[in-house]
Structures are given as structure tokens and as C-alpha cells.
Amino acid sequence: MNMENLKQYFIDEIGLTEKHFNRLKSLVVQKKLIKNENLITPGKICDFIAFVKTGILRYYIDDDGSEINIDFHVEGSFASAYSSFLTQKPAIGYLQALENSELYIIPKSTYEKLLEESSDWYKLAKGISDDYFLRKCKRQTSLLMHPAKDRFDLLKETYPKIEQLVSQYHIASYLGIKPESLSRIKSLTYIKK
């Protein structure tokens, strides 16, 4: 997502003005991650919100050597260990680049400064929290109520290019199934077409 697309996102989706966008643009920090680099690790306090310019990240926890993917952050989305960011308590998971990625980082101190400057910035805060909340609710409801095939369909709807971006292993972990089960679901899907 280039800077012009990002500007349109902030104006059209978040509801801020071009003046707000230019203010934010002057304050963000650009950061590049190489594949498999961690932006946050367990025990560290998350003091930023990132906007993914290019690439894809995952948020996962390590359960006795078994990685469980909690969320994916694709181009054009926000990325953070969000509960750690809000509470300023240590993160329990890893925020990791699955490919070389470029981010715009909004440090917490900058974020809070903007909120103090003008109540308009609460539109940004609401946009970020709504995004996280809705994704979390969709995934949680899907895990509790839907069979694996429906969870896979919802994943593809939420992240349209996910199969080209993320390994089958990571997708299966996110869905709460084994990679072999995902292979069966995909083969049945393609047979029906």
C-alpha cells in the first residue's frame, strides 16, 4: 500500500482529513522487517501500533513448542500485540514477519499525544479497536460454532489472498486443525468445483 492509498484509507475509512493524515505522516516511523523477524516477543510490553505497508505478519503464541496462530496482519491492516498495547502489560505472544515487510510505526507516546491534541484522533483509535474487536469476534465465534470447512471459508473471505501468502501449516494452526485436515478440506473444495 503506497502513501496515497494510505491517505485515502485514513480519509475514507477512518474519517480523518488530509490535514490529519499529513500530521500523522510526519510522526510515524518507517520500519522494515526481514522474513521471520519478530517485532514483539513474550514478556515485552508493546509500545506501538503498526500499519502494514507491505508484507504480512502473524501473531502467535507458543504452547509448549506448538505454535498457535492467533491473527494475521496483511497489507493495509493494523498490527500490534493490542492487549499489551492497551494495558501496558507484557505480551504473551510473538508478532512475526512471514515475509519481508515494511511498516509505519505509531509509537504509543505519539498515539497518546495525538489523542490529547484533538478529539478527532479518537476516530483513528476507534478504527483500530473496531478492526481488532471484529476480527477477534469472527474468529472466536467461528472456532466455537463452525466446522473446519466453514472456518476455512471465513478465513479466505477475511483475507482473500491468504493461501498465496501463508503456508498451509500456519493456516491450519489458525483454524485449529492439523495440516492434513486442511489438505482434505481443500481437496474436497476443488473436487466440488
Q: What's the pLDDT score for residue 144?
A: 84
- The yes-or-no verdict on residue 72 having pLDDT over 90 is yes
Q: Specify if 137 maps to a domain.
A: no
Q: How far apart are the first and last CA of the chain?
A: 32
pLDDT of residue 143: 84
At 76-87, the pLDDT tens digits run 889 999 999 999
Residue 123 lies in a domain: no
pLDDT range class, residue 2, cuts 50, 70, 90: low
Query: How sure is the predictor about 193, in pLDDT bands with cuts at 50, 70 and 90?
Result: very low
Residue 181 falls inside a structural domain: no
Domain enclosing residue 109, as ranges: 3-118
Given a contact cutoff of 8 angstroms between Cβ atoms, the answer to whether 42 and 62 are in contact is: yes
Torsion angle, CA of 84/88/90/95, rounded to 10 degrees? Answer: 40
The whole-chain average pLDDT of the chain stands at 89
Order of strands, sheet of 48-54, starting from the edge strand that comes earlier in the sequence = 29-33, 101-107, 48-54, 78-79
Give me the CATH number covering residue 91: 2.60.120.10
- pLDDT digit string (tens) for 108-164? 999 999 999 999 999 999 989 998 888 888 888 888 888 889 889 888 888 888 888
- Which grid cell sits at 130? 473496531
146 found inside a domain: no
| pLDDT band of 6, cuts 50, 70, 90 | confident
How many structural domains comprise the chain? 1
Residue 173 maps to a domain? no
CB neighbourhood size of 171 (10 A): 22
The pLDDT tens digits of the residues spanning 82-115 come to 999 999 999 999 999 999 999 999 999 999 999 9
pLDDT > 90? residue 9: no
Q: Is residue 138 situated within a structural domain?
A: no
Task: Determine, yes or no, domain membership for 80.
Answer: yes
Question: Which pLDDT belongs to residue 89?
Answer: 97
- Does 24 fall in a domain? yes
